[in-house]
Amino acid sequence: MIELGPGDGCYTEGLGRDEHNLNLTKSTSPPKLSVEANTMYHEVPEDDIPEADHARLDKLVMADCRDVITTRSLFGELKKSTLILQSIIRHSPDILDSRYNDVLKVLDLFEGYPSLMNDLCSAFEKEDFRPIRKLNILRTKVQNCDSGLPRDSDHQVLEEPMRATVQSWKINYQGSTTAVLMNTIRDYLRAQNHYARYFAFVQSSGTGKSRIVDELAKTLISTPVNLAAKTFPPGDRQVRVWLGLDSYEQSDRDASSLRLHAYLYAVLTTTLVNLKEIARSENISTLTDDALDDIVKRRSHELATSFHDHMAKDMTFESHGPFRDGFYKSVLGLANKFVSKAKRNHAGSSNFVLEDTERGSSSCSVDVRSAAKDLLEFIDPHYEDQSYKNPLLLLSFDESHDFTSVSGNQHWSLFSEFQRVLWRIRDFPIFSVFLSTGGTFHLFSPHTDDSSSNRLQTVKLNIFPPVTETGFDELALKVRGDGSWSLEQVVTDEFIAHLGRPLFASRYDAGDTSVRNSIVGFAAQKLMGTSRGFGVLSPAQELACLAVRLPLEFRATSWSTRSMEREQVERHMRICLAATAGFEEMVTVAASEPLLAEAAFITMRNKKMPAATALQNHLVSSNLSVGERGELIATLILLLARDAAVSHVQDSRIVSVLGFLAALFHPDDYETICEAHPARSTHGEANKSLKDSFANAKMWFNHFIKVNDFEVVNQEYLWRLIVRGAAVVCANNMRGFDIILPILYWDSKLCAWNVTAILIQVKNDKSYTANVTHSLFTAMNPRRTGVFAQGAKVLHIIRIVFALAAKDPGVTAVQKSQRVAKPDTYTAYDIWCAGCTHTTFPVIHRNEDGVYQSLLEHSQAIFDVYEVKDRHAEVSTNNIERPQIRRNMCPASEKNSSHWEKFIEGSLDTPVDVVDEAEVEDVTDSDVEMSG
């Protein structure tokens, strides 16, 4: 019979409410708070804010309020209290409730808690606002790092977010990644001379690794164990403790090896016992020696599904159900017996697991192999005759990064010992998968330079490349490009939450109004990699904000120099797109995720993050590539201008083109540009000003992506980029321009014929000065570069040149000479921007001029990321689905349909006819003049 342990039941960890309501008194200690009848008016018992942050925030509040309050003696208590509270809120946006930036909300608060005004004034006199920040009534709901669940001040998980998280796990699985994973395992199964049959499944948080493996368990018999201390799905705590993952120092190496042998033996044996009972109780047919292959496969499928359902039954946010709990209770009981037996058999010897050059005693190895063979024969009596076309068992270890921890001066880890245990069953159709986001995931593939992997050096043995394919946009709402969708529809929280990784979409769909309204804040918590409100941003957090909005590329070439890149994957949501065996080569990207970009924008704004300084600091320390022409600096300027424009729009992510230009340029330059006539114009358009031409034009972007395929840069694809709020940085050596900002010209309809653009060419060459070089504009011919297809109506465009290295700053609106009578084939408004200082761009502060100059002064062949070929591994594969999913994970970056199919409905193969390169301009440089 299947041994079921008693369920632990649901437990809650809660933040019990502190009932100390204390009056403010004059003392050297922090001021205490006055008593309020309402129970919400009290301090949280455990303060999330470090003392250093309190001191820094106090100085900021005093700097805001001291002069105003002391110079305005007529300030009454109400005005004084309002000023102080709003300053406290403004400087702690991620900790305190931003609703109280609204004066009316503050008045309502004071009406409900009248003594708060006195407490604020007393705190001001003492220059200590710690007790105010600790008030429950002002606190936002903080998020749990692993699950993203808001937690009350007594650590009790709030009911609705907890329910939403559990329900999101139960949403119908979508996508093909489970089938791709199965095919990948089949590919690995064919490999010869392998070290052991295991691989790492590595990807950042929220990408669905656990769900993919769980879905696979419905068709492939799997024994899942979650080694996390605290997460959702819940960890198997008893296994983690038994393996010693919570111990500061692990036991000696031989004892650890013995326990791992014992664990594997017990898992295999207990799985067999349970499968036999499932087959008996559910009338799953018994196999005979002459059972046909189809019957074997069907029976294996039935056993897998039933075993999965038993293991998943009655799972809550905090614990597994009684079946899984009992399963591992039986496993550990049997493992203890295994250890005791081995010690008795080797009484008096401290070296009971050494055998030749591999660790593990002969008797232990025989027992493990015997258990594996018994289990496999039950699943398929003919498994030895099948040439291992299909795996029969998957051992799944979720949140397995702690397995690789090394204690003290030890040169081994539990994982290095477990590798050797798995080596014992390397010839069976049993695979192990280790899921992780952790920074030590390179240890999951034994590196050929590792002295502990002698077997890899003496005999050529295969190591399996890690799996990274999790899919992307699987829950996206598909948009049609026939004008039936509007820009207003694709900028909502709901829409952008469904683009990218499934974490946010599934949570949004499963949550109530409170969960949905907090989805951007939840994304910010995940991006920052913290479970609490955060104070001053760490360098890694600043990099996370930049990396999800700018197309940052790391240029590190070795594992040791990739520490910051690894941390971005581990803690800050960066995608590991592909890696070779042993992680000798790795490509990471900040894929297009508008929700994360929006979370980064809000964090940058609220924290007043100095973006240029942060970028400068990371160029060297994080091995970032700054680009060859200064295009990264240009995108930063454009992004900051977008952010400034959005700040002037009430509750909208959409900005007008004129609003964007107003933020990009100083007022005088902006007025000149608005009144400027086109530098090139079609018949009847010569006297139309830019402000009239673009009066209805709108923009939506909050991040940049780098596209590697020039054919993406045309109307047919630009509207799709608008769908996900992405502007474009072109790959090196593309034609004519470096950056393109898509625009909806006539109205808000999403369709190709409504799209035009701002085309930007960037130069970081001192030969380009404040004098306009007209040939650069000529190169940005919208027809010749393919922005508009041949025969399509060419809408008005804006062309800008950033001559960033120019010594003399200035902005010039280029005008068409009145002498030119012949009309052009398109209408373009041209702007020349010289220099990279506060004089040219208002988003650059005066004290940042040196920073931007340093960035300019700073102004790598990798393996084909969309191929599965790996020159470091001997595994051959024809698995075409893996490259397809990798393309899904880089949406909108190339023409290939896999970059678009998840969020765009209909055919993606619309041909784009580009005008012949030989087409020449009819208007020469001398026909153009400047103004401004």
Where is mean pLDDT largest: 488-492, 785-789, 924-928? 488-492
Residue 137 has pLDDT above 90, yes or no: no
Residue 624 has pLDDT above 70, yes or no: yes
Which of 120, 129, 132, 138 is closest to 58 using CA atoms? 129
Q: Which pLDDT score, from 0 to 100, does residue 889 have? A: 87
Region for 291 from its dihedrals, namely left if φ exceeds 0, alpha if ψ lies in -120 to 50, beta otherwise: beta
Q: 403, 429, 458: which is the final residue of a domain?
A: 458
Residue 249 has pLDDT above 70, yes or no: no
Lowest mean pLDDT among 179-193, 555-569, 619-633, 752-766: 555-569
Lowest mean pLDDT among 67-81, 127-141, 700-714, 793-807: 67-81
Residue 521's alpha-carbon distances to 166, 654, 698, in angstroms, are 19, 20, 26
Based on the domain organization, do 134 and 181 belong to the same domain? no
Q: What is the mean pLDDT of residues 861-887?
A: 65
614 domain residue, yes or no: no
Based on the domain organization, do 187 and 236 belong to the same domain? yes
User: Which residue would you say has higher pLDDT here, 886 or 34?
Assistant: 886
Per-residue model confidence as pLDDT tens digits over 535-546: 788 889 999 999
Q: Which pLDDT score, from 0 to 100, does residue 318 have? A: 84
Lowest mean pLDDT among 608-622, 667-681, 685-699: 608-622
Region for 725 from its dihedrals, namely left if φ exceeds 0, alpha if ψ lies in -120 to 50, beta otherwise: left
Q: Which pLDDT score, from 0 to 100, does residue 64 have? A: 79
Per-residue model confidence as pLDDT tens digits over 82-112: 889 988 988 886 678 877 877 777 877 887 7
Contact 539, 568 (CB under 8 A): no
DSSP 582: G
Q: Which pLDDT score, from 0 to 100, does residue 11 have? A: 24
CA geometry: angle 131, 133, 134, nearest 5 deg: 65
Q: CA–CA separation, 455 vs 461, rounded Å? A: 8
Q: CA–CA separation, 269 vs 5, rounded Å? A: 17
Contact 919, 783 (CB under 8 A): yes
Cross-strand pairs, 15: 154
For a pLDDT cut of 70, what percent of the chain falls above it?
Answer: 78
DSSP 123: H
For a pLDDT cut of 90, what percent of the chain falls above it?
Answer: 45
CA geometry: angle 585, 586, 587, nearest 5 deg: 135
Q: CA–CA separation, 461 vs 178, rounded Å? A: 27
Q: CA–CA separation, 299 vs 284, rounded Å? A: 7
746 domain residue, yes or no: yes
How does the average pLDDT of the chain come out, rounded? 81
Q: Which pLDDT score, from 0 to 100, does residue 482 have? A: 95
Based on the domain organization, do 296 and 238 belong to the same domain? yes
Residue 761 has pLDDT above 50, yes or no: yes
Based on the domain organization, do 381 and 251 belong to the same domain? yes
Residue range(s) defining the domain that contains residue 347: 177-458
Neighbours of 488 (CB within 10 A): 14
- Classify residue 137 by burial, with Cβ atoms within 10 Å: 0-12, 13-18, 19+: middle
930 domain residue, yes or no: no
Q: CA–CA separation, 170 vs 223, rounded Å? A: 19
Based on the domain organization, do 711 and 756 belong to the same domain? yes
Where is mean pLDDT largest: 11-15, 312-316, 696-700? 696-700
What contacts 747, CB < 8 A, 6 or more positions away?
696, 754
Q: Which pLDDT score, from 0 to 100, does residue 727 have? A: 98
Based on the domain organization, do 408 and 268 belong to the same domain? yes
84 domain residue, yes or no: yes
Q: Which pLDDT score, from 0 to 100, does residue 163 have? A: 81
Q: Which pLDDT score, from 0 to 100, does residue 877 have? A: 62
Q: What is the mean pLDDT of residues 908-923?
A: 47
User: Which residue would you say has higher pLDDT here, 158 or 77?
Assistant: 77
DSSP 6: P
What contacts 240, CB < 8 A, 6 or more positions away?
227, 228, 229, 246, 402
Tokens of 220: 């492939």
- Mark 590-607 as b/e (b = at least 16 C-beta within 10 Å): bbbbbbbbbbbbbbbeeb
Q: What is the mean pLDDT of residues 579-593?
A: 84
Which of 932, 708, 643, 910 is closest to 809 using CA atoms? 932
Residue 732 has pLDDT above 80, yes or no: no
Based on the domain organization, do 55 and 136 belong to the same domain? yes
pLDDT confidence bin for 438, thresholds 50/70/90: low
3 state DSSP class of 678? coil
Contact 516, 568 (CB under 8 A): no
Where is mean pLDDT largest: 275-284, 293-302, 358-367? 275-284
Q: What is the mean pLDDT of residues 118-142?
A: 83
3 state DSSP class of 699? strand
14 domain residue, yes or no: yes
What contacts 521, CB < 8 A, 6 or more positions away?
140, 143, 599
DSSP β-ladder status, 698-699 and 482-486: unpaired
pLDDT confidence bin for 194, thresholds 50/70/90: confident
Tokens of 147: 């699950």
Tell me the residue ranges of DSSP E strands in 580-625. Answer: 586-589, 624-625
Q: Which pLDDT score, from 0 to 100, does residue 288 have? A: 62
815 domain residue, yes or no: yes
Which of 500, 507, 463, 301 is closest to 902 using CA atoms? 500
Cross-strand pairs, 812: 832
In angstroms and rounded to an integer, the radius of gyration of the C-alpha atoms of the chain is 31
User: Which residue would you say has higher pLDDT here, 650 or 840?
Assistant: 840
DSSP 320: -
Q: CA–CA separation, 209 vs 177, rounded Å? A: 10
- Counting the structural domains of the chain, the total is 3
- The helix (run of H) or strand (run of E) holding residue 801 is strand 797-803
Q: CA–CA separation, 479 vs 486, rounded Å? A: 10
Q: CA–CA separation, 601 vs 351, rounded Å? A: 58
34 domain residue, yes or no: yes
Q: Which pLDDT score, from 0 to 100, does residue 26 have? A: 31
Q: What is the mean pLDDT of residues 119-130?
A: 90
Which of 535, 528, 529 is closest to 53 using CA atoms? 535
Where is mean pLDDT largest: 178-192, 404-418, 431-445, 812-826? 178-192
Tokens of 749: 């309809």
Per-residue model confidence as pLDDT tens digits over 287-322: 665 666 777 888 899 999 999 999 999 998 888 999
Q: Which pLDDT score, from 0 to 100, does residue 56 have? A: 81
Residue 926 has pLDDT above 60, yes or no: no
Neighbours of 542 (CB within 10 A): 23
Residue 689 has pLDDT above 70, yes or no: yes
Q: What is the mean pLDDT of residues 775-802?
A: 93
Per-residue model confidence as pLDDT tens digits over 14-42: 222 232 332 333 333 444 444 333 445 56
pLDDT confidence bin for 603, thresholds 50/70/90: very high
Q: Which pLDDT score, from 0 to 100, does residue 448 have? A: 41
- The helix (run of H) or strand (run of E) holding residue 763 is strand 755-763
Residue 425's alpha-carbon distances to 2, 300, 373, 429, 651, in angstroms, are 25, 20, 9, 9, 60
pLDDT confidence bin for 387, thresholds 50/70/90: low
DSSP 693: H
Q: Which pLDDT score, from 0 to 100, does residue 885 have? A: 87
Tokens of 710: 């020039």
pLDDT confidence bin for 139, thresholds 50/70/90: confident
Q: What DSSP string runs through 478-503? A: -B-SEEEEEHHHHTSHHHHHTSSSHH
Q: Which pLDDT score, from 0 to 100, does residue 449 have? A: 39
Q: Which pLDDT score, from 0 to 100, does residue 719 have? A: 97
Q: 428, 458, 488: which is the final residue of a domain?
A: 458
Contact 725, 700 (CB under 8 A): yes
- pTM reported for the whole predicted model: 0.76
Tokens of 752: 């190709």
- From first CA to last CA, the distance across the chain in angstroms is 87
Tell me the residue ranges of DSSP E strands in 421-539. Answer: 430-436, 482-486
Q: What is the mean pLDDT of residues 164-184?
A: 88
Based on the domain organization, do 126 and 209 belong to the same domain? no
Contact 203, 437 (CB under 8 A): yes
Based on the domain organization, do 130 and 242 belong to the same domain? no
Based on the domain organization, do 135 and 259 belong to the same domain? no
Q: What is the mean pLDDT of residues 343-368?
A: 62
- The helix (run of H) or strand (run of E) holding residue 62 is helix 51-71
Q: 838, 857, 876: which is the final residue of a domain?
A: 857
Based on the domain organization, do 717 and 785 belong to the same domain? yes
167 domain residue, yes or no: no
Tell me the residue ranges of DSSP E strands in 152-279. Answer: 198-202, 222-226
Which of 163, 206, 169 is closest to 595 using CA atoms? 206
- Mark 555-571 as b/e (b = at least 16 C-beta within 10 Å): ebeebeebebbbbbbbb
Based on the domain organization, do 418 and 294 belong to the same domain? yes
Q: CA–CA separation, 795 vs 745, rounded Å? A: 8
